[in-house]
Structure 1
Amino acid sequence: MKNDDTSSLSHTRWNCQYHIVFTPKYRRKAIYAKLRSDIGKYIRRLCEYKGVEIVEAHAMSDHIHMLVKIPPKLALSSFMGYLKGKSSLMIFDEHVNLKYNYGSRHFWSEGYYVSTVGLNKQTVANYIRNQELDDQLADKKSIKEYKDPFTGK
């Protein structure tokens, strides 16, 4: 199955897209609104470091929506821990006055929402249905042995 949205690793073709929503702790709108552009910059940089493609992202008044493509070699939960942990450290390093007001360097709330964004049912059914035909066509192109290597006939 060749699709414009697929990416590849050495032996894998993949299209793992996730819709992720996460919020600042206590939904602190007052400080979050002032930092939205910086937070976006930090998140883009961290995603780039891990090879995660941001398809679409938007910082709302009190939460972040992201549509990302995460390689299958990277677990979603470990990526979210990395993203929230490192961005929190970056926020408190750049905006030193926040750690005196809010302390303990916890900027994000503990949880997050995630849902997978995949191919529709019809596309998957067509792929499964046509995969056998594709394999048969590939076999016709390959060189066939006309002698049984074990019996010599």
Structure 2
Amino acid sequence: MYEFNRNRHSVYSLNYHLVVVTKYRKKCISEEMLNRLKEIANNVFTSFKCELMEINGEEDHVHLLFKAPPQVQLSKLINNFKTVSSRY
């Protein structure tokens, strides 16, 4: 069954699947780095009022499954996540 969220003017269920790939698909993401990415993603997505449902990955890419309200600009959210995660 679907779960719907509400705000003052809308009812929504927006789920997104984001795949972030390393440059040239180099296999450089270790288990420690993936754990740190989980912490960073949780902080960034929480600050944008999004719910990070699942995060997983391999040596050359990371999958993020999240829910976001319609007010969130996805381009800014993804840009912020990529910027913050690459700097840490």
Same fold (TM over 0.5): yes
Name the counterpart of 1:116.
Answer: none
Question: Structure 1: any 5+ residue segments left out of the alignment?
Answer: 92-153
| TM norm structure 1 | 0.51
Q: Report the Cα offset of residue 87 of structure 1.
A: 1.9
Greater per-residue helix proportion: 1
Q: What is the one-letter code of the residue matched to 1:76? A: L
Q: Report the Cα offset of residue 26 of structure 1.
A: 3.0
2:61 aligned with 1:79? no
> How many residues are paired up?
87
Q: Please say if residues 40 and 59 of structure 1, whose CA atoms lie closer than 8 Å, have aligned partners that are also in contact.
A: no
Matches within 5 A, 1:3-152: 5-30=3-28, 32-33=29-30, 34-89=32-87, 91=88
Question: Structure 2: any 5+ residue segments left out of the alignment?
Answer: none
Larger Rg: 1
Residue 29 of structure 1 aligns to a residue in which SS? coil
Q: Report the Cα offset of residue 56 of structure 1.
A: 2.0
Q: CA RMSD for the aligned pairs?
A: 1.8
Q: Report the Cα offset of residue 28 of structure 1.
A: 3.4
Residue-by-residue CA offset, 1:53-107 (whole Å, 9 max, x unaligned): 1122212221111111111101222211111112222x1xxxxxxxxxxxxxxxx
Greater per-residue strand proportion: 2
